[in-house]
Amino acid sequence: MKHIFLGLSICSALLLVGCSHKEVYKPENVKGEWKNAGRLSASIKHVSQTAAVLENGNILTKEGEKSLKISKENRFLNLSGGWIITQNNDNNLELLPEEGIGQHVILDVNRTVAAASIQDDTVAILFSNNEMALYSLSAKKIVFKESASAPIAVDARIANPYFLKDLALFLGLDGKIVIVNIANKQVLRSIIVGSEEYFNNITYLNVIDNNMIASTGNGILALSDKEQREKYEIRNIAYTKDGIWLTTKQGEVIALSPTLQYKGKQKFPFAHFVGISVQNDRVYVLEQEGYMIALTKNLISYDVYDVDMDHDQVFVGDDRFYFDDRYISIK
């Protein structure tokens, strides 16, 4: 019996070792080291789609590092409408002027906020239970509220509400876009982006030339004259007037038209992409093992470069990738 237990233990150990082995991306050819790089004043603590917060409290925007600081006790939510939006320990919103001039504003919400944005006097808030609300900034009171299905589990990449002229678009944790008229405080319509049971929240939205692109971790929607949907397991996405480029969990870089027509693909076995940016005539993707891949927009050809990184928390600026206490320029 002792030998049986010993045999089982050895087999279990071998299985565990086998399961713990992880394949990683290894390029066949590396053109050289990407040398256009620099340093931040501190390491990145928190990343969102619009900005990041450094360990010393400084704000990192798309344009670069700012000397504006937020309290270490506050949770950063968004940079929107000239305000730095945070949530304090009392579960209230604390708004700081982006230019550093003026008083902080406290909005009593007393609940966990998942996302928030500001346009003029309107504060659009998405709560962690998927409830939506509009607040008046000057009056500091709620003026609109709408309930929705609470999520079971969400993707950490929660998208902030999006303003489109006199409309507030709430990007739900249940995969729906809820469009609200700000003036009359009425829901105009809702649009389904994804319908998965778990991790179905909207992670991205942008509008260019009256064409709206929205995505969850499992699919993408294009809306202009009509709705188009495609299924992809999306890691990163970039949308310009020339098209859409996305990376997938399968190590693919895919090019689509603004209406989701397939244009091309490159596959990089076992690649785990952590950022994407489109600059001029190139698509740049950052790979977790420390590689920058620069592709032509049609994805026909590419070059691979070494990058000194061992960090998967990446903030994508206008022409830089930021990680840890460093950045690399890609313009």
Please report which confidence band the pLDDT of residue 10 belongs to, taking 50, 70 and 90 as the band edges.
very low
Strands 243-248 and 234-240, bridge-based pairing: antiparallel
Half-sphere exposure for 176 (CA within 13 Å, toward CB): 17
- Note the pLDDT tens digit of each residue in 66-117: 888 898 899 999 999 999 999 999 999 999 998 877 789 999 999 999 999 9
Q: What does the alpha-carbon distance between residue 200 and residue 254 come to, in Å, rounded to a whole number?
A: 21
pLDDT at residue 7, rounded to an integer: 42
**Nearest to residue 81, comparing CAs of 96, 67, 93, 68?**
96
pLDDT at residue 99, rounded to an integer: 83
Q: Which residues, listed in sequence order, are joined to residue 265 by a DSSP beta bridge?
A: 254
Please report which confidence band the pLDDT of residue 310 belongs to, taking 50, 70 and 90 as the band edges.
confident
Q: Which of 35-44, 233-242, 252-261 shows the lowest mean pLDDT across its residues?
A: 35-44
pLDDT at residue 20, rounded to an integer: 52
CA distances from 243 to 182, 259, 263, 281, 319 (A): 30, 8, 9, 12, 18
CB 321 within 8 A of CB 330: yes
Task: Dump the DSSP string for 46-108.
Answer: EE-SSEEEETTSEEEETTEEEEEE--TTSEEEEEETTEEEEE-TTS-EEEEETTS-S--EEE-
CB 263 within 8 A of CB 276: no
- Note the pLDDT tens digit of each residue in 279-303: 989 999 999 999 999 999 999 999 9
What token pair was written down for 46?
Answer: 């928190």
Q: What does the alpha-carbon distance between residue 40 and residue 56 come to, in Å, rounded to a whole number?
A: 11
User: 3-state DSSP call for residue 11?
Assistant: helix
| Other Cβ atoms closer than 10 A to 230 | 16
Section 239-251 average pLDDT: 97
Q: What does the alpha-carbon distance between residue 32 and residue 35 come to, in Å, rounded to a whole number?
A: 9
Task: Tell me what the pLDDT averaged over the chain comes to.
Answer: 92
**Nearest to residue 193, comparing CAs of 252, 165, 234, 153?**
234
Map out the domains of the chain with their CATH numbers.
24-50+235-331 (2.40.10.480), 70-232 (2.130.10.10)
